[in-house]
Structure 1
């Protein structure tokens, strides 16, 4: 998987890694794991390693140990913490000097077999033999990481053995390179005379990446700002250059970069450090220390600013076809290894761009010139020298220079006026809250947050010690109140290393890209003689034979289903009645943070208002309320909460297909001391929202429409599944309206309106219904010491809300729909396809829900991966069982209707008995892997609150999973997924396809009128 730097308008990515003063933290971790390593001291020898440092990081309950491997010089950081979800990673500095994507293709290829595990794709096969809570591999701009997490000690050891052998002893077979990277091959292997085309997983993945104009823009911004070395190329691979990569170059790159002397090992959690080091040392014993010579030099600083313009495909969903320019100004800043300076710069980025009161938000986003920040806006520290960028999306061509002028004027204004102290306090509050908040998989996210700094010889332990950095920052600010203004002047005013990048649509863009590919392909094919074509065909057959080979996997370690707990991890809750409503409470070690969720009911809302519920959810916490404007509301959220959020809720009943919960989920969290402040904010938003600021509303509409349109290229499989399921049951029908392609189109039409007064009426109508105490039920997670105060505060809060004291039904009866088959093709300017097919299935409590879950995992891992990814070259594929619907999907797929044939061959494969007991047991393990992932304290009890699924129901489902047999799997495959007997929906998002015809039952969405008809239908 390639990591692309994403839009960071909130600039909070770095801030979330910061910690706070240990004296203020409510302890929720024991000391056992840390005590094991506290006796170590610098100079100690341990299993071939020398201890360099032992340092406490009390802010996040970690004792850190830094070691060096004596023989190879490999560095190792161990973060001891009493967390059973242990993490391992090994990271290599990888510095490509061309855009062939060699580190990305290598990342894929090393996972295709190693000396101890010479099977095809042991990495993927371990997904079915493990209880990992995370498994992946990541290619960034200048490093490649192989991380995993697991709560099971034996599983952790199993995975470490596979990962270590894959990284240091891979087979790197040429056929694996051809499969994962690129190859020439006949379009139809059964016909040697069929046209020779390009194939390959990474090749198609990157075609998909650059089908997104925002990805194209971010990549170009990096390449142009840092052009002299590795950041001047595309680490993930440019499709136009990938086909220049040779097998020898791939092997040479591995030999140079994948050496222990160029490796950084990270372990985290409560497992003993000794056993980690002993195993790693045994794997590294055959290596000696070398100088890998892959350091990244500093970028030569420019003497004057530069500018560049690039092209992109037009956006068919743009609200204004004449406003499709993107413009940003990009600045190169300081080295990220200077931890304090990097902290100050990140705070600066937050202050400048985050939130409605920030200077650039006010000057740019609120100006109405564009729809939202440019995708690269914010502070970024993923490269050796940090970057700050700011700009606008969807700007008219005549306004490009105006945007640049506003940026310069805003910089001057900030230098002159500085920042309000309240905003600085808000940043520091976000740091404190962000660290106390416990999300999922802390160890993995810690590894990612340290990777870039450590990769360039920075100090990873210092990066974790943010309490002292914050204290220093406060002191420096007291000594020099103009500190931040001086930094703005230094980095943004006087800095000549500045790039102005613009991007505009070219109606011929996709055609040019297709012609380039055709020309490149033709040039290669022209050089092929008959003998060469025979070799290509022979290699293709050899690869196909290898892909079809049933392998002996006995060399791979595995957990067994019988090793798993028979009992669920209970999430005990209590119900506190509050008159007409109830408050669900869940006492948890939340580290001094209180989590609140409120579910409101849409029962009674006219159906014509339903498409506007997502917009209502987007704007309700971002407008004025209680007599205050949106700026005040925004500032209060920053000062006292982790943000107030609202999202549409559409959940079917766990048993009945005629009962449906449609509502809005309001969620927020805060420090315990700020709970009353948070409730006061919710009181004002619910009792008196203010939709009267039409300029503000227009800004939010443009931002929402722009974000949805850009999501199509990255999440096309989700939209395809939503559309394919829409005609099958009432839940999916509503989900399409709220979250599917129909919603993208709805927002486009709203964004096109010159007068939004009609929208105000619709939003106010929704508010009148859902912002009412009779619709609300509440859930709170807090520490035991804070729970009584929380419940008391919530009862007072409910009493202060408007409305009648009569609770609406949570799952009211609705009219069911009759499932009907349908096929829709959405023609979009992509280079690849997203394909989906859906069938009606069963509810959570049905006896067949468990075997359908096992079937979905079995199909994904045993059939679809081989046929769609390995053979077909798509980046991803799978089957997904959800309550009421079973779906197939492919992601960034060069095929379209051909993939539909694969889906049905998959059903035939499962239904006709080509399954073993071992296959089914491995699939069960995969299902349990998802079910048993750790749930953060702030989220426990939400399955009951949102879905009304009790612990007893979860236990019954677990019992059924243990009892699923291969006969059950065969039975449900034939019963529910036979397209000759079962209604089904199909959807494809992708380029124009002449083989898809309306007279063959397809609905082809090519015009706005057709899209509108679909949205309203």
Structure 2
């Protein structure tokens, strides 16, 4: 359906005790189409044996066409779960839940422990579906402006009327409470990118709390959790993070209301084994301190202010957020409406505090101090972990193989061929409803913006119904920054709002930001030029939002950051560096395909090179090096040098989104902010006010693209593979054809090759705004074979073996992304950030509509053919002998 609809979201989520099937679209007809397909897929799936082999697990010859090749385990979910558990954070969270709730459904892995998956039979799966995926066990949720009666009628006619009510017996009983605390230990694989290889232990204490269907209690505990752990002013941050015993909180931290009974966890990762007892001590001491001292009133106010902003801020996935927010409680028969009445909970909370000043301290005493149902779980790396996993899998495999007769083996070979044949056939999807290209709006709505100036700085104003919030952005150019400082920019961005400024130390700064704003952030930006591949704009983006009443406070905080940021607190900087390095190392197993794509594009365009510096493996390794430095004084000397180049009104432009009523007030505040930071200008220049242009001149470089193949050996059992090809920029006439080609190759060719046949969790092609056409695969058991699947995809495109319907479906799929909803806070941002105006977008739109069969074959030939292309390749994955022996690869 991704290719037959204008959906803005379509997926399925598996939680520990429910599955949720959400979809959304802005088109009424499309909504009905999707609803009928979803009802059919959820309640009346085919669940054929072949589907079970492909998606679940099967025994098959390594090479399905060679009966003498060894038998191995294959299957999409089998590989997905192996990939999921190569992520140590995920592994830890899973063990913690299994051991805290040992008596019921939460004691097992809902997605399947990889080595237990081959024990599941097709019959068991069908039986499970018949009892669990039944309307008697379902809850429906709709959100939006379409009339409800129509949805109810369709749900009744297409699903509910076809079933008799059953008792599904899916209630989860309460976990019986332990009379004394428990301890446990698990192991994981060592992390090659850990900031300190000798400190890779995790320890966490987890407490069983109350039933999540008690709405107010849940609200109170989740607030209490934020007070205990959120931000540098919280007691656990001060007690655990600042002494630098570990790199960051454990992967599971705080209140978790996703299971029938909630839990709260607190602990550390990245610590030395000898500190384990000390950390247990600190946790228990901190709880005693909280019971004695409680929380400052200002911190409670800051938290309630945050809730007020969250209720006013409009996001594009508001309906989905609400659905996710109520899913767990409603699933256990809680009252979903009560859960949504947040203002009532806030009022009741304020009242409880007024009546009993020790209200929160009493909760801490009851749920933490006196709670005997608590688990202390430690995790340490084991050098032989992956080996043991592989050995256990091999033993399981051999056991299965030994039980086979010759006729079983013959049958496996024949079934493997059958599956391959089925996978190679084009599925007939004609029974599915589809929108037509003519259902797409021919023109885009124009977003009016007006450009003016404040103190000589260009400003874009965009009037929007922002619900009483003001959104501010400033783009600061990096053009004057010396080359040797580039690598430090992401670190600068992550610490500049967290080290203190003006008269505020970092704790006071964090407090003021929470009390007065919806957050303040700084991030790197690499913006490819829309007309030329070797030009780009580089900068950092400042972003913040606030309630209208807090405008002066928000700008005052930015003024202090510009005029007098604090950089000299080495202790604070080390804490931030450790956390940042740990976060980067943890993120690779989750976003490996992004790292592979960024690396593959490194030598193809100047913007691609900078992306790798800021966001790629190069940045991960750089932060690891910084985290390992015994002395950070050299870094402390570097930060003010960067600040001098970046936080300078001479190379800055701003954007404001707010309500028409608040516009002049915001303009006045912005004007005074620019005056306040004028001393940061390089030289006194006369202030311009006749500003019509808002972009900086892009940088042009003398850049030679070159071919490069890089392999990063990682402690994963799966690969992330990418190949990137240099093509054309956004406004080039072939850009639209390449976008549609990428989408069509993904749906009609690569998905089948990489996921269905190859067993990877995902894969495909995408066309990036920077003129790079990228192939990728995700959690992939193959590496070099996937590169040849990419090549086959190009041959398939060049051969023109696709239909007009294939092209139309790819167009629908592209337009659903192009036309996805934009929140009031983000309107006009394409223009502000990348200079892409509504007229340019409309031109791109018309080129998309106009793409023909001939255009697609032409661009495949012209840009993607072996002789034509300049490409880069990158793989992240386990040890690989084939690649090591091949001199054309650089092995990292």
Scaled to the shorter chain, the TM-score interval is: over 0.9
Matching residue within 704, 712, 728 for 1:818 = 704
Cα separation, 2, equivalents of 1:984 and 1:868: 20
Counterpart residue number, 2:648? 772
Q: Deviations over 1:835-869 (max 9, x none)?
A: 00000011110001100000010011111111101
Matching residue within 384, 395, 407 for 1:531 = 407
Cα separation, 2, equivalents of 1:803 and 1:330: 49
Q: Is 1:695 matched with 2:695?
A: no
Alignment of 1:130-169 (within 5 A): 130-169=5-44
Alignment of 1:298-309 (within 5 A): 298-309=174-185
Q: Which moved more, 1:561-570 or 1:217-226?
A: 561-570
Cα separation, 2, equivalents of 1:896 and 1:159: 35
Q: Deviations over 1:511-553 (max 9, x none)?
A: 1111111111111111122211111111111111111212332
Q: Is 1:959 matched with 2:846?
A: yes
TM-score by length of 1: 0.86
Cα separation, 2, equivalents of 1:823 and 1:434: 45
Cα separation, 1, equivalents of 2:132 and 2:27: 31
Once the two structures are TM-superposed, the CA of residue 580 in structure 1 deviates from its matched residue by 2.4
Alignment of 1:866-877 (within 5 A): 866-877=752-763
Once the two structures are TM-superposed, the CA of residue 811 in structure 1 deviates from its matched residue by 3.4
Counterpart residue number, 1:741? 617
Once the two structures are TM-superposed, the CA of residue 578 in structure 1 deviates from its matched residue by 2.1
Alignment of 1:379-528 (within 5 A): 379-528=255-404
Cα separation, 2, equivalents of 1:965 and 1:174: 39
Cα separation, 2, equivalents of 1:637 and 1:460: 32
Counterpart residue number, 2:57? 182
Counterpart residue number, 1:361? 237
Structure 2 residue matching 1:1000: 3-state secondary structure: coil
Counterpart residue number, 2:800? 913
Q: Deviations over 1:614-670 (max 9, x none)?
A: 000100001111132100100001101111101111111111233221111010111
Q: Is 1:206 matched with 2:81?
A: yes
Q: Is 1:803 matched with 2:680?
A: yes
TM-score by length of 2: 0.98
Once the two structures are TM-superposed, the CA of residue 479 in structure 1 deviates from its matched residue by 0.3
Cα separation, 1, equivalents of 2:405 and 2:265: 50
Cα separation, 2, equivalents of 1:498 and 1:243: 33
Q: Deviations over 1:456-483 (max 9, x none)?
A: 0000000001111111111110000000
Counterpart residue number, 2:126? 251
Matching residue within 150, 154, 161 for 1:279 = 154
Structure 2 residue matching 1:997: 3-state secondary structure: helix
Structure 1 residue matching 2:883: 3-state secondary structure: coil
Matching residue within 772, 787, 797 for 1:900 = 787
Q: Is 1:984 matched with 2:860?
A: no
Counterpart residue number, 1:25? none
Structure 1 residue matching 2:320: 3-state secondary structure: helix
Structure 2 residue matching 1:265: 3-state secondary structure: coil
Q: How many residues align?
A: 880
Contact 1:657 1:816 (8 Å CA) reproduced:
no
Q: Is 1:842 matched with 2:728?
A: yes
Matching residue within 829, 833, 839 for 1:942 = 829
Cα separation, 2, equivalents of 1:780 and 1:194: 63
Cα separation, 1, equivalents of 2:6 and 2:374: 48
Counterpart residue number, 2:142? 267
Cα separation, 1, equivalents of 2:369 and 2:652: 50
Q: Deviations over 1:572-627 (max 9, x none)?
A: 21111224211111111111111111111111111111011000010000111113
Cα separation, 2, equivalents of 1:569 and 1:914: 36
Contact 1:828 1:992 (8 Å CA) reproduced:
yes
Contact 1:212 1:714 (8 Å CA) reproduced:
yes
Structure 2 residue matching 1:774: 3-state secondary structure: helix
Q: Deviations over 1:41-96 (max 9, x none)?
A: xxxxxxxxxxxxxxxxxxxxxxxxxxxxxxxxxxxxxxxxxxxxxxxxxxxxxxxx
Contact 1:331 1:495 (8 Å CA) reproduced:
yes
Cα separation, 2, equivalents of 1:929 and 1:965: 19
Counterpart residue number, 1:337? 213
Q: Is 1:750 matched with 2:626?
A: yes
Structure 2 residue matching 1:267: 3-state secondary structure: coil
Contact 2:527 2:537 (8 Å CA) reproduced:
yes
Once the two structures are TM-superposed, the CA of residue 816 in structure 1 deviates from its matched residue by 3.6
Counterpart residue number, 2:691? none
Gaps (5+ residues) in structure 1? 1-125, 1006-1017
Structure 1 residue matching 2:832: 3-state secondary structure: helix
Counterpart residue number, 2:713? 827
Alignment of 1:230-241 (within 5 A): 230-241=105-116
Cα separation, 2, equivalents of 1:754 and 1:886: 42
Structure 2 residue matching 1:777: 3-state secondary structure: strand
Matching residue within 231, 252, 271 for 1:376 = 252
Structure 2 residue matching 1:996: 3-state secondary structure: helix
Structure 1 residue matching 2:197: 3-state secondary structure: coil
Gaps (5+ residues) in structure 2? 689-693
Q: Deviations over 1:542-575 (max 9, x none)?
A: 1111112123322110001111111013222111
Counterpart residue number, 1:293? 169
Once the two structures are TM-superposed, the CA of residue 177 in structure 1 deviates from its matched residue by 0.7
Once the two structures are TM-superposed, the CA of residue 454 in structure 1 deviates from its matched residue by 0.2
| Aligned-pair Cα RMSD in Å | 1.1
Cα separation, 2, equivalents of 1:336 and 1:694: 42
Cα separation, 2, equivalents of 1:342 and 1:737: 43
Structure 1 residue ranges (4+ consecutive) displaced by more than 6 angstroms after TM superposition: none
Once the two structures are TM-superposed, the CA of residue 997 in structure 1 deviates from its matched residue by 2.6
Counterpart residue number, 1:712? 588
Cα separation, 1, equivalents of 2:582 and 2:263: 24
Once the two structures are TM-superposed, the CA of residue 998 in structure 1 deviates from its matched residue by 5.1
Q: Is 1:722 matched with 2:598?
A: yes
Counterpart residue number, 2:453? 577
Cα separation, 1, equivalents of 2:699 and 2:189: 46
Counterpart residue number, 2:470? 594
Cα separation, 2, equivalents of 1:305 and 1:569: 60
Cα separation, 2, equivalents of 1:723 and 1:554: 40
Cα separation, 2, equivalents of 1:326 and 1:571: 50
Q: 1:311 to 1:811 in 2, by over 3 A?
A: farther
Cα separation, 2, equivalents of 1:148 and 1:377: 30
Cα separation, 2, equivalents of 1:477 and 1:350: 16
Cα separation, 1, equivalents of 2:801 and 2:884: 35
Cα separation, 2, equivalents of 1:455 and 1:224: 22
Structure 2 residue matching 1:843: 3-state secondary structure: coil
Counterpart residue number, 1:54? none
Cα separation, 2, equivalents of 1:441 and 1:323: 39
Q: Is 1:191 matched with 2:77?
A: no
